[in-house]
Structure 1
């Protein structure tokens, strides 16, 4: 059993990875299992095949996903941290629902940049029964996401964003209503910065140099012109067109220093409220920013809609 982590209290992975249980569910994982200096079971996180197999085991063991894989070169996300975002979004919805987490398919979630892994819809649907719509600009990611849905007979909508400059435009349809939108935006401003960021991360982990981007990743998953601030600023601008169709707009923010400029952008957009939620994950702290154009009374009414 791994060392406990500082994940959300409802996160199934707060006690670490139970490799005995994972291997029992996915025997193929055993070939990738090694021991760390403390004698605990782990994997080599620089090995893309090992990371992919670990994710497959986690999704099968904890989220009833019997068939999962992604094409080579696509982002293979660390599941415990990704699920934390889902749990904190559940807490956000509870604030407008008498502190009770709303569960069931009437809760609609739009996942911007869902990726080839479909990690947020897979875990969020299992944990809370919400209905997800995943959106991506990458054809390969869309094909992979649809394949995962088909193999596991999942009712998750997958939509292609045809225009890279758009985020909500073109994928939110006139009759759509979403309780949440979520996004893990590309946080680097260039491919060079993405590569340097990976090297720093491996060095901080004491793993030396890696010739690959962290857990893989296509360009659109890792960087965009202007980086995270420009991307989220565009998201805020476009969110103003869908104030009546969405309750909460949210996005992960990788760099704490980006919160101040993003806060100014949100104030200028005249949102009714915005908030920042910190998520402690081991020695790392991540966060997401959430904004709404609805008053508290309007939020309560929207939250009860079916």
Structure 2
């Protein structure tokens, strides 16, 4: 148990400063100073501007776009912290990059989710905190403690406040059925599944809808929205099958290419995401609503420091409505 917050440091790297500030405000731990330096050839180094000797250090850094740079920042800072005699190093990585490569789908493919886990551990990380890992088995890639918290309760609390009628929760593919089933319990709602195939990466083709969506308010739930193609194709198919309106929710708004424009121009009523990934001003659109996970992560830090259980922090927000 850590009772002296003066022996705790919170750092923010370049991926998501606003989220780090939200965490800092809740935990009442000021952000410490670190300078990220890039050399002309692209190499990265960091300058720690205060002592961390004997401190319990938390670093906020999702490995979102550009994933390679943001991952390297974490590794370089971790090495600096370890060499500066930090007592422990916890990486708060709300979005765990490379998580979609969690197994070999065909011969001669890498398992980069495991590679990233190895890199973090070799660098000297003592604990990792994530939100909605793409695949739960990634937790088994680590030999250090890893906390994988759900984003669904925060998303569900938003929709429960809207008091929608005749809700049907929809999984955009077979792989997300477990996630959708849990989400449906918050509304005591039935479940539907979109049967789709992927001709190639980042492209989706809807084949069939399993379940009754006629006259329903559909909420599609996923962990990652990237190009938006899956959600848009799914929304079109649901409306064609008689759905009244379609909302979408996802924990991680990767939103590459022209995803935000495509979503804004689509039949989707609204897309709700969390701020695990910083949504830059130029990507903001009226149809995209972002909820902050920062206050929950701020509480989680305090529970970690005090050796208290954490899971109830993320579930009680729905129960309180």
For normalisation by structure 1, the TM-score amounts to 0.37
More helix by share: 1
Name the one with the larger strand percent: 2
TM-score (norm: length of structure 2): 0.35
Larger Rg: 2
